[in-house]
Amino acid sequence: MQDPVVFRVERILRSPWLIFGAGAVLAGALALALWLLFPLYKGLLADPFWFPILVMAIMLNLILSSTAICILAERKIAGFTQDRFGPNRVGFWGLLQPLADGLKFLLKEDIIPTQVDKPLFLLAPAMALIISLSGFAVIPWAGEVRWPWAPDTLVSTQVASLDIGVLYVLAVASLGVYGVVLAGYASNNKYAFYGGVRAAAQMISYELPLGLGLLCLLLTSGSLRLEEVVRQQAQSGMWYVFLHPLPFLLILVSSFAEANRVPFDLAEAEQELVGGFHTEYSSMKFALFFLAEYAHMITGSAVLVALFCGGWAPLPFSSWLADSTAWWALLIKLGAYLAKVAVCIGLFMLVRWTIPRFRFDQLMRIAWLSLVPVGIALVAGTATLTVLGLQRTWWACLGLNLVALLGMLWTAARSGRTVTGRQDDLPDIHVEPA
């Protein structure tokens, strides 16, 4: 029989009044503090130097806190796709489950095996998290704004406006493999080492279709600045996903591989490698790898939204708010951007619990024999459109994508390759008649 005290505590924690009441109290306290302290930071909001730093601090905390929300959403979506409830015991609707998970990681014993390379073993999870949080610096969250008390000053919600913004994102994304490879190497464990080697091969392979898809976009936009790419989509109303759906799919598939998400999580395949590169990790060092994965997913989704889905532009086929710098437009733009990022993250999670993991030879075959040839053909076609001055003409871009799609279907139909999951080097199966 359950202890009455435990029963009362569980009933209180599972009450919606506790969750929403605590949320309302915290939101009210935060709003009151912001209102009372407004004279102190009023000047910082209108300063072109300090305002991006405030945006950086706010977005960094938002991304880190969103990882807890992503953990709950991941488990809820898993329950939905598998026709079960998911976490629903800790707090109303399971809303306190991320808190319980965090306490579990904090209180677990921190074990460091004796044969590991200790400096690299400790550096790997920290490096994975830091690199995953570095890409958001060039994301234009909500364009530019003029505050009512400083009408002559225009401040940006982008932390760093770089001439090579897209190249910066690529450089940071390519560094993400170092944390995984160092973890596998430093663990002195064959399963962890295999996971690190798989991650390195996977990252190198899928950076090629990722770069080819981005090259199609850059030929269309003519700029490496993310804010310029977003501005073009907002002013024309034509999001680049409608002009180049196939390059969008190339980058989306490559993003799954870059973030080590199912069906491309071969670096941590538990059926084959126990846990892969993080087999020897425990406690918070183990948690840092998952925080890095979710932070990488959030940042990757934000970049994908900026490049193809209009960024802060609220509506497609409309230039609404494209030139507005009012404070209320800032709120609408930021809400639209975060909503699009949330949709992309939901897609990442839904795919994880829908498509089974590929075999490693299938993973490499998809990259080198499918995505790379298609990417090369799309880059060649987009370059031709650019020479002709048709790189932003919708019928020309969609015609190029249609021709590429028909070429893919024709090649698949003519190949005569047997549709099977068996490896090519396996012997044939001969079944003796009964």
Quote the tokens at residue 67: 């990882």
Arithmetic mean of pLDDT, 382-408:
91
Find the range with the poorest average confidence among 89-93, 186-190, 331-335, 342-346.
89-93
Indicate the helix (H) or strand (E) that contains 155.
strand 155-156
The answer, yes or no, to whether residue 50 has pLDDT greater than 80, is yes
The answer, yes or no, to whether residue 271 has pLDDT greater than 80, is no
Amino acid at 277: F
Give per-residue pLDDT as tens, 366-375. 888 889 999 9
In 179-235, which ranges are E strands? Answer: none
User: Residue 144: beta bridge partners?
Assistant: 156
User: Quick one: what percent of the chain has pLDDT higher than 90?
Assistant: 18
The answer, yes or no, to whether residue 191 has pLDDT greater than 70, is yes
Asked if residue 178 lies in contact with residue 131, where contact means CB atoms within 8 angstroms, the answer is yes
User: Residue 155: beta bridge partners?
Assistant: 145
Largest Cα–Cα distance in the chain?
A: 89
Give per-residue pLDDT as tens, 223-234. 889 999 999 999
Give CA–CA dist 197/86, Å, rounded.
34
Quote the tokens at residue 184: 């596998």
pLDDT, mean over the chain: 85
The answer, yes or no, to whether residue 364 has pLDDT greater than 90, is no
Give CA–CA dist 144/234, Å, rounded.
13
Q: Which of 249, 258, 212, 227 is nearest to 164 (CA)?
A: 227
Residue 421: band (very low, low, confident or very high) from pLDDT cuts 50, 70, 90: low
DSSP sequence for 336-378 = HHHHHHHHHHHHHHHHHTTSPPPPHHHHHHIIIIIIHHHHHHH
Quote the tokens at residue 308: 């193809």
Give percent helix, percent strand, percent coil of the chain, each to the nearest 5: 70, 0, 30
Find the range with the poorest average confidence among 111-115, 143-147, 210-214, 329-333.
111-115
Q: What is the pLDDT of residue 433?
A: 64
Amino acid at 336: A
Give CA–CA dist 345/302, Å, rounded.
9
With tokens 């598998």, the residue in question is 82
Residue 431: band (very low, low, confident or very high) from pLDDT cuts 50, 70, 90: low
Arithmetic mean of pLDDT, 238-257:
90
Give CA–CA dist 270/280, Å, rounded.
13
107 versus 418: the higher-pLDDT residue is 107
With tokens 């024999």, the residue in question is 369
Amino acid at 421: G
The answer, yes or no, to whether residue 195 has pLDDT greater than 90, is no
Q: Which of 274, 305, 272, 300 is nearest to 187 (CA)?
A: 274
The answer, yes or no, to whether residue 127 has pLDDT greater than 60, is yes
Rounded to two decimals, the pTM is 0.89
Give CA–CA dist 34/323, Å, rounded.
28
Half-sphere exposure of 346 (CA within 13 A, CB side): 9
